[in-house]
Structure 1
Amino acid sequence: MNSTKAAANFSDLIASELPYLRRYTRSLTGSQARGDKYTVATLEVILKDRSSFENDNPVKVNLFKCFHAIWSTSGQTFVDPEDSLRSRAHGLLANLTTNSREALLLRTIEDFSLEQVATIMDTNIDEVRSLISKANEELADSFKGRVMIIEDEPIIAADLSAIVTGLGHDVTGIARTHTEAIKLGRDHSADLILADIQLADNSSGIDAVNDLLELMDVPVIFITAFPERLLTGDRPEPAFLISKPFHEEQVRSAVSQAMFFASTDTLKA
């Protein structure tokens, strides 16, 4: 295989995993803009030196490992200490166990094995287990709020409601259509929106959320079977995204992460 073809194949492999790195960096930083800055920085490093991919690890593992090397050496700082709100976010993050949120997101949202998480974070499996446990404890205690659920499948909506209330949050209501969502948003304020992409009347959950964000300034977690379609970097996109079918731990993790950032008022990109 000539070098040009090899380079093209390598680029295709990276491109196929890039939406998931975008999802992870956004969840980690709390916004599309800050997350994408880290994604771009990771790609720039890889373009200069591919040696970190010369092993038997899956491409996705190596990609995330490259990001973590940058994230760690940058001091994990994505807030401006001169801004009082972002300074508060930085202070809250400083009180969390180092690398705990990272381990939780890698395991639950990105669905890496414990061994893969350990490889990405350059640690061992026992430490990963400990970090995940710490993250669940610390994030659960960070903020309790009100959650609006937009979901047209009754069983899924009930599952989401049970998970949210199990974390100590209140559910303001469940909307099945665009119209119901807007009415619910007008009647009850929320701290977080949990929304499916496709609603019962074939309306768009994205359109419903966009209209709701004119009424309230809150984080949104989208649920979709096709996350890569919402992670192109071409337009304003969600910082928090769950793939269908989802596991309870994925929802718990995403809600805890989003609520943590909601408590700092720093979610604007």
Structure 2
Amino acid sequence: MNAVTQADLLRSLPPARRYARALTGGQSAGDALVGAALKAGLPDLPARLALYAGVTRLAPPPAKPPQGAVLPARQRQLLLLTALEELSLDEAAAVLGITTEVAETELEEARTALRSAAATDVLVIEDEPIIAMDVRQLVEACGHRVVGVAATEAQAVRLAETKRPGLILADVNLGAGGDGITAVGRIQEQLKVPVIFVTAYPERLLTAERVEPAFVISKPFEPLALAIATYQAVSSTVPIE
């Protein structure tokens, strides 16, 4: 075990769990991966980087590449570490055990390949009209098709039933219109579809106290973060829970 303190590890667990879920596509698989990494021992890195490295080392490769998948495993990992986990290039290289120069080259290749990833139909759940418009533009810039924008829980359920999207991008707090997590729960009773939650407070969704989403990105987010999240969500290595 790395010589980091237990307090360091506890502080680093939520981002490590988020990263593991993004790699595997589900809560239980991601959390099991973090547990396996802790049992196997961590490399001699700061706590957060050590957990990322341990998870990466044990992450299973896709048994069968999904249709439209164009990114090798390490390039996906680089994108997740830099775009979603917001590591520097040097930190991401340390996690993967490669040089910064190699990481820079592969990251550029990954960004280029991401632009040709398979498109899907997206339902946006967002109650703020201006934010919804911005999100729609970002989703379409990633090459996807927005088939509906819902401002309330009821609208989201109704649109999901009629449009049958391949991906849902949902805000957590819908104000007077309800709760994004509840809306998604109702939708997934009838339609098994990957979901990305967008929130200014991602730590509130990583408490291990309830069923939690596999994909969480923080507000405000960069277009690249949305691009890799949508790609990973629709090409996950395990079925979405």
1:23 and 2:18 matched: yes
Query: Helix, strand or coil: the match of 1:112?
Result: coil
Query: Helix, strand or coil: the match of 2:102?
Result: helix
Per the alignment, residue 71 of structure 2 pairs with 96
Render the CA deviation track for 1:203-238: whole Å, top value 9, x for unaligned: 110001111112321100001222222223344321
1:37 and 2:32 matched: yes
Q: Supply the AA of the counterpart residue of 1:64.
A: Y
Quote the Cα distance in structure 1 between the aligned partners of 2:24 and 2:115: 18
Structure 1: segments with no counterpart, 5+ residues: 1-6, 80-86
Quote the Cα distance in structure 2 between the aligned partners of 1:117 and 1:97: 16
1:182 and 2:157 matched: yes
Q: Supply the AA of the counterpart residue of 2:231.
A: S
1:66 pairs, out of 54, 68, 77, with 54
Quote the Cα distance in structure 1 between the aligned partners of 2:114 and 2:208: 28
Quote the Cα distance in structure 2 between the aligned partners of 1:243 and 1:228: 9
Quote the Cα distance in structure 2 between the aligned partners of 1:67 and 1:154: 38
Is the CA contact (8 Å cut-off) linking 1:139 and 1:260 kept in structure 2?
A: no
Per the alignment, residue 245 of structure 1 pairs with 220
Q: 1:191 to 1:92 in 2, by over 3 A?
A: closer
1:267 and 2:232 matched: no
What is the root-mean-square deviation in Å for CA atoms of aligned residues?
2.4
1:214 and 2:189 matched: yes
Q: Supply the AA of the counterpart residue of 1:77.
A: P
Quote the Cα distance in structure 2 between the aligned partners of 1:98 and 1:220: 21
Per the alignment, residue 207 of structure 2 pairs with 232
Provide TM-score, normalisation by structure 2: 0.88
Q: 1:67 to 1:268 in 2, by over 3 A?
A: closer
Query: Helix, strand or coil: the match of 2:5?
Result: helix
Quote the Cα distance in structure 1 between the aligned partners of 2:219 and 2:49: 21
2:112 pairs, out of 137, 141, 160, with 137
Per the alignment, residue 83 of structure 1 pairs with none
Is the CA contact (8 Å cut-off) linking 1:64 and 1:120 kept in structure 2?
A: yes
Query: Helix, strand or coil: the match of 1:118?
Result: helix
Q: Supply the AA of the counterpart residue of 2:107.
A: I
Per the alignment, residue 172 of structure 1 pairs with 147
Quote the Cα distance in structure 2 between the aligned partners of 1:26 and 1:130: 25
Quote the Cα distance in structure 2 between the aligned partners of 1:144 and 1:163: 13
Q: Bigger radius of gyration, 1 or 2?
A: 1
Render the CA deviation track for 1:184-210: whole Å, top value 9, x for unaligned: 223312000000000031511000111
Q: Supply the AA of the counterpart residue of 2:125.
A: I
Q: 1:206 to 1:25 in 2, by over 3 A?
A: same
How far has the Cα of 1:92 moved from its partner? 7.3
Render the CA deviation track for 1:135-164: whole Å, top value 9, x for unaligned: 233344332110000011222212211111
Query: Helix, strand or coil: the match of 1:116?
Result: helix
Is the CA contact (8 Å cut-off) linking 1:104 and 1:131 kept in structure 2?
A: no
Quote the Cα distance in structure 1 between the aligned partners of 2:119 and 2:62: 24
Quote the Cα distance in structure 1 between the aligned partners of 2:36 and 2:9: 14
How far has the Cα of 1:67 moved from its partner? 2.6
Quote the Cα distance in structure 1 between the aligned partners of 2:62 and 2:120: 24
Structure 2: segments with no counterpart, 5+ residues: none
Is the CA contact (8 Å cut-off) linking 2:196 and 2:216 kept in structure 1?
A: yes
Is the CA contact (8 Å cut-off) linking 2:18 and 2:215 kept in structure 1?
A: yes
